Chain A
Amino acid sequence: MRAIPRPQRWDSPFDPNMTDADVNRILSILPFSEMNPDDFPPSTPLHGILHNDTRIRRYQSGDIIVREGDYGDSAFFIISGAVRVVLDGLPASMLGRLEPKRKTFLQVLAQLWRNPKEPEVRHTSRDVDDSGVQARGDAGSATRIFLQNVPGVLDAHNTVQLETGAFFGEIAALGRVERTATIFAEGEVELLEVRWQGLRDIRRRNRTLKEHIDALYRERSLKTHLLATPMFQHLSEDEITEIANQTVFETYGDFDWHTSYQTLAGESAASRLAKEPIITEEGHYPNGVILIRSGFTRLSKQFGHGHRTKSYLGKGQHYGFDEIVHNWRRGNDGGNSAVPFQYSLRAVGYADVLIVPTPIIEKFVLGPDPENPRLPKELLPPPVAVDEATEENVQELTHPEVDEDMLELLVENRFINGTATMMINLDRCTRCDDCVRACAAAHDNNPRFIRHGPKVGNYMVANACMHCADPVCMIGCPTGAIHREVTGQVVINDATCIGCSTCANSCPYHNIRMVEVRGEDGDLILDQNTNAPILTATKCDLCIDQLGGPACQRACPHDALRRIDMQDGMKSLSDWINR
């Protein structure tokens, strides 16, 4: 047995080269100069946050700082200089992405004789000269993509300037949502990049920054989010504004859940569940409706000495409304038949939630009279079952069509993150490998998945990219090569992938592989400086360029393989399982 110092939060600073002098300089700049260090606890002092959770980055004119559609876990503060926000979007090629393009029927047919015999042959040119962008720096995190013609971009696009002292990227960093605009450096610019943990702590302790970020969120996204929830759709704009003002934002768990995922995978189910932060606890007073803004949550109920998973909730779903409506209906009996939260809600990995307080729900959504609710009656949930939990009624509460073990496997392993999770019914799969051959045929004879993976009962979750709702693989790609298409698929642009392995290392499911690529002559492509083979990240692209969709699914003769969208409340999964 070996004793080591207990791991501490700042064992791995964001930038090991950050000095005290740098921190003191930042502390002399507004708004940091106005922050009171006494507001911060001794365990996370402001100086420590700036020292360990930030880094200073310098960009040259035209350098792309963040790209529209990327996922990021950091925000930026402009120390000096100015940046430009492109409001109307840059072309995909300028962002290092693929232009969405499907093969024609003849091109599809030509794969029959054009597919190379050697593995991982690339036809595409690696040059990006014609796209209007160029790369500078070496492979790795130092690589920067810059716009070659900044004046041209300014002329052709609608942009706004952000100057010294402005923050940007904070909503995407804290809300784990896509960056909404591309931002590039206009001239020399010095930025302070703050990773999300630091931003969270500063926001928590500093009222000014909290108000700034909350106001931005309330202004830009909250109303849209509320209006997307059916219970608020019948309300007036003033009422929505009032609800938005009363809504509380909370983040649970760890944005970097993918780094701890593998460690937790070795632990028991109970241990993993115990480490999931509790958002609401079974038996507690329902103090509000919890709307899931991003991330995933698990609904579970105490059973024996453990917890049984009832369901999972993701972006756009909510919990607590049933209990609140139940109590509102019985408001006149002095609370005798009031019910508490029926389930515990836990963050699986991380969850960003909005809490709309109960009085607000009762006032605006339900109204004063239970006989005459403001909400259309068809949207009112049925009364909550308040019986004691027995084997029988817990089974009823569990999602009726999906086996409990299956649900546990999907939630524990976070396969619920998938929008196209490859599932195989092993009772129907004849192991013919037609799916693997079809995948290879559609990808220049290179299969992009492995017919292998964790099993529960007669189902297997195969090792294929799930095109996650929370694509952690996309965080940190220096060139934007891995990106999400408008149609939802997460794809890699071979031409701009520099083989840094960031995405492959981040993917918690090991569904991205680094491969040595070959030229059309079949020879390995080598780095002219080191003579080492050039690597490229590869994964399933859901046959984005093929006619007819995923070849694996279409090739299965026995309907054994299906790409399942886990974001629709298990409907697709349940429909498929119960075919």
Chain B
Amino acid sequence: MITFASRRRRNIAILVLLSVLSGIVYTIYTLSLRHPNFISGWTLFLIMLLLALYNVRKKLPFIPLASSSSWLQFHIYAGFFTSVLFLLHIRFRVPNGTLEVILSILYLIVFSSGVVGILISRSVPARLTTRGEEVVFERIPTFQRHLRDELDQLVSHALSEAKSAAIADFYANRLLLFFAAPRNFWWHIAQSNRPCYALINEFRALNRYMNPDEQELASEIATLITTKDDLDYQHAHQALLKYWLFIHIPLTYSLLLFSLVHGVAVYAFIGKI
């Protein structure tokens, strides 16, 4: 079994080799007064098409067309290779035509979202095992609802038993909102517990107005707040793992579409070049 390090070294070596080769071909074309943009453009388009096919391969897992892991490795390194081809294609200049600007922006978003995606895929999974109970993403709303139900019971218990509004007021003003939906997305991504600590501290400050029975209920509620915060942590990270693809994939199709338009335009005006 090839190690990840060996695979990475091999793939980087191939990428560097292909990039150097592309540079040489580009130089030869330029020196021989031939137009290198056709070959770089077509190569770029075909590779982008292959990259987009990875999503199709994912939809056909039973087809024996190499493993998804091999496809992803190709996807990553061929993706990096497109950046070399892209730079050669635009001749290291900022494009100026409307279509070219749109195309370049689309490319840059797709490319950078891909890079961000790799970083997310490599760094976020390890975080999921470090805090709270891991819950399947689709089941998080159900867990959230259970927590809210537990909270409601504790609060109504506090109202009926302790006959005090200290907990109920806090519930109405702060907890209801906190438990209604996933919260503090970016704080969790930044690995900060600050909002949760702030909320719990604010809640504990009410202890002085509570009798012992209420304090016991408050302690249970504080545990629920921590559990909900852990659930939000799971939600934030799992959402990040899923949602970056909602930028990367649709824009890939837009990029391919605009590339086609670009190609048609180039061939339509080829006589004037």
Give A contacts to B, CB under 8 Å.
105, 108-109, 111-112, 426-432, 434, 437-438, 441-442, 451-452, 455, 457-458, 543, 546-548, 551, 553-560, 575-576, 578-579
Contacts and interface: CB of A to CB of B under 8 A. Distances in A.
Q: Which of B3, B4, B125 has the most CB of A within 10 A?
A: B125
17 contacts: A111-B62, A426-B129, A427-B126, A428-B125, A429-B125, A431-B125, A434-B58, A441-B61, A442-B62, A451-B136, A457-B129, A547-B63, A548-B62, A557-B58, A557-B71, A558-B72, A579-B2
A579 B72 contact: no
A576 B4 CA distance: 10
B98 interface: no
Q: Which 6 A-B pairs have the closest CB atoms?
A: A438-B61, A548-B64, A557-B72, A547-B64, A427-B126, A555-B61
Interface string B121-135: 110111011000000
Interface residues of B, number: 27
B241 A430 contact: yes
B3 A579 contact: yes
B1 A426 contact: no
A341 to B, nearest CB: 34
A563 B201 CA distance: 47
B62 A551 contact: yes
A257 B129 CA distance: 32
Contact of A108 (B64, B68, B128): B64
Given A430-B124, A558-B121, 10 more contacts: A427-B126, A428-B122, A432-B242, A442-B62, A543-B62, A548-B63, A548-B64, A554-B61, A559-B69, A579-B3
B273 interface: no
Contact of B68 (A429, A434, A441, A578): A434
Contacts of B63: 108-109, 547-548
A439 to B, nearest CB: 8
Contacts of A437: 61
Contacts of B2: 579
A428 B118 CA distance: 11
A207 B95 CA distance: 95
Contacts of A111: 62
Given A437-B61, A557-B71, A431 B129 contact: no
A113 to B, nearest CB: 12
B60 interface: yes
A432 B241 contact: yes
Given A429-B125, A431-B238, A579-B4, A556 B69 contact: yes
A434 B61 contact: yes
A554 B3 CA distance: 17
A428 B62 CA distance: 22
B137 interface: yes
- The secondary-structure label for the interface of chain A is loop
B223 interface: no
Interface in B90-122: 121-122
Interface string B179-200: 0000000000000000000000
A556 B137 CA distance: 18
B67 A554 contact: yes
A553 to B, nearest CB: 8
A557 B3 CA distance: 16
Interface string B237-265: 01001100000000000000000000000
Contacts of B62: 108, 111, 438, 441-442, 543, 546-548, 551
A340 to B, nearest CB: 38
Contacts of B4: 559, 579
B19 to A, nearest CB: 24
A441 B68 CA distance: 15
Given A438-B61, A546-B62, A427 B67 contact: no
A58 B230 CA distance: 62
A435 to B, nearest CB: 9
A437 B67 CA distance: 15
A576 B1 contact: yes
Contact of A430 (B58, B67, B121, B136): B121
A579 B67 CA distance: 17
Nearest to A103: B62
A430 B123 CA distance: 9
Contact of B61 (A429, A455, A551, A559): A551
A578 B2 CA distance: 10
Contact of B129 (A112, A432, A458): A458
Interface string B15-44: 000000000000000000000000000000
Contacts of A108: 62-64
